[in-house]
Structure 1
Amino acid sequence: MNTKKLFLTRPLSDVEVIIERKNVKKIRLKVCPNSVIKLSAPLGVPDAYIDDFLTSNTPWIEKSLHYFKETEATEFETSIFSGASTRILGRQVRIIVNEAKKRIIEQKEDYIYIQSPVAGDQQALLKQFERWWLSRSKSYFLAVIDRLYPIIAKHGINKPNLQVRKMKTLWGSCSRKHNKINLNYYLYKAAPPCIDYVVLHELAHFLYPKHNKDFYDFLTVHMPDWQERKRILDHEVVKGLGYYARVHPCLK
């Protein structure tokens, strides 16, 4: 692991980028709210290629740093209490916690009502909330997959299985070998059109494994505004997760 100096325009200060070489296939560049910038790269990529990549992405890095300075990121749910808020399907919802004999969570319009016999136990409330979130998000994502799957079904592709899990730098991924789509637990915060984009993106990979012209042409045919949906995810929704991430197909 080493670092490279990156010279930015004023009023931003020059920064150091942490470079880490890993057994990965792509270059991944991440800008964090505390101004830490990290780049992971495949083991065989030349230093000159990394330098060019950083130079070409400097405007994006500056835009991300400015964004974090101008906005206050909404953190992960680290505590559950009455009056707290979160975002579900692009809408802010308020949490109400009540003492009760049974553990029940219900969403009614812009409120989430949490009932628990241990309403003062943060660890128990967080576990209860996470179980509910996982169940609700998975049900929603499955419905989206069912709706969009016919787009690739006509090409003889079997409907993929779904796994929902917490991921730090990806909205989704897929495995053609195991016929599975992975979706980010936190994607449930995004507006429905953005979730549709991520699902279609992953479904498209069962036809086109690489991010090549055929892949993007397929996306454009079936979702002409996919770039705007991606922009919203990258520059609005992601602030609730506390980082920006950029993935770049790399030289083999």
Structure 2
Amino acid sequence: MPLITIGELTLELQHKGIKNLHINVLPPDGRVRVSAPASLSQTAIRMAVVRRLPWIRQQQAHFQAQPRQSERQMCSGETHYLWGRGYRLEVIPVEGAHSVKLQGGWIRMRVPAHYDAAKREALLLGWYRQLLRQRLPILMAKWQALLNVTPSFVGIKRMKTMWGSCKTDTSRIWINLELVKKPPECLEFIVVHELVHLLERKHNQRFITLMDTHLPNWREHREKLNKMPLAFNRWGY
């Protein structure tokens, strides 16, 4: 992706078939991405960014102030999160089949002794995915009925910059796997947010009114989600 520099600020530039310029400050480190109409000149883009510099700096400061987890080594004694609560990890070498279970306030992972950190992480992520798959359909069914909408597809994947996404032209919804680590009300907020996009594509006043009507305390959930510790950044995005 092309990079441009404005003063001390380096940002990514995407030219798209869109009508308006969009500036996004992305977690976890405040990387700046500009999406601009294909016809917009470099001069116009730079002027737009300069006008938004105070807001950009404010957003970057917000991300820098957020607590971060240390890099996970997937070894006994580490703290890992499930539904907003921290649990200590216990890695137990076994010769038989591997497994992950929540037992007595611990996440107990039984794995062959030769499993390295990457394989242990993959096993934990698979367990997380299984737990999210159990809870997500219940929330989706509840809110599809309340909002009278039906997505064509709902999937789970790890996403680097979004908690959820909705392709309104195809009614496809993705939910970020990382939400399994956050309080349950945060997952519900994202579910409602993405389903409301099937009624209103843009984040305009109608969208806000729909959120206020169906989930009046959504702002509290959003704030809680934004204040939760960020995962250690190894993606380099």
Q: Same fold (TM over 0.5)?
A: yes
Q: Counterpart of 2:85?
A: 91
Query: 1:52-201 to 2 correspondence within 5 Å?
Result: 52=48, 55-56=51-52, 58-59=54-55, 61-62=57-58, 64-65=60-61, 68=64, 70=65, 72-75=67-70, 77=72, 79-100=73-94, 101-108=96-103, 110-118=105-113, 120-153=115-148, 157-201=149-193
Distance 1:104 1:110 in 2: 16
AA aligned opposite 1:22: H
- Secondary structure (helix, strand or coil) at the match of 1:149 reads helix
From 212, 220, 234, give the equivalent of 1:220.
212
Distance 1:170 1:54 in 2: 25
- Secondary structure (helix, strand or coil) at the match of 2:180 reads helix
Distance 1:227 1:50 in 2: 32
Larger relative contact order (C-alpha < 8 A, sep ≥ 6)?
A: 1
Distance 1:189 1:60 in 2: 28
Following superposition, the deviation at residue 168 of structure 1 comes to 0.9
Q: Identify unmatched segments of 5+ residues in structure 2.
A: none
Distance 1:142 1:216 in 2: 24
- Secondary structure (helix, strand or coil) at the match of 1:239 reads coil
Following superposition, the deviation at residue 71 of structure 1 comes to 5.2
- Secondary structure (helix, strand or coil) at the match of 1:211 reads coil
**Alpha-carbon deviations, 1:98-132, whole Å to 9, x = none?**
01222111113632110012365223212211211
- Secondary structure (helix, strand or coil) at the match of 2:119 reads helix
After superposition, the CA RMSD in angstroms is 2.8
Following superposition, the deviation at residue 158 of structure 1 comes to 2.5
Aligned residue pairs, count: 227
Q: Identify unmatched segments of 5+ residues in structure 1.
A: 6-14, 244-252
Distance 1:76 1:181 in 2: 30
Residue 21 in 1 paired to residue 14 in 2?
yes
Q: Identity of paired residues, percent?
A: 19
Q: Counterpart of 1:231?
A: 223
Moved more, 203-212 or 20-29: 20-29
**Alpha-carbon deviations, 1:25-49, whole Å to 9, x = none?**
5624235666x64222223446546
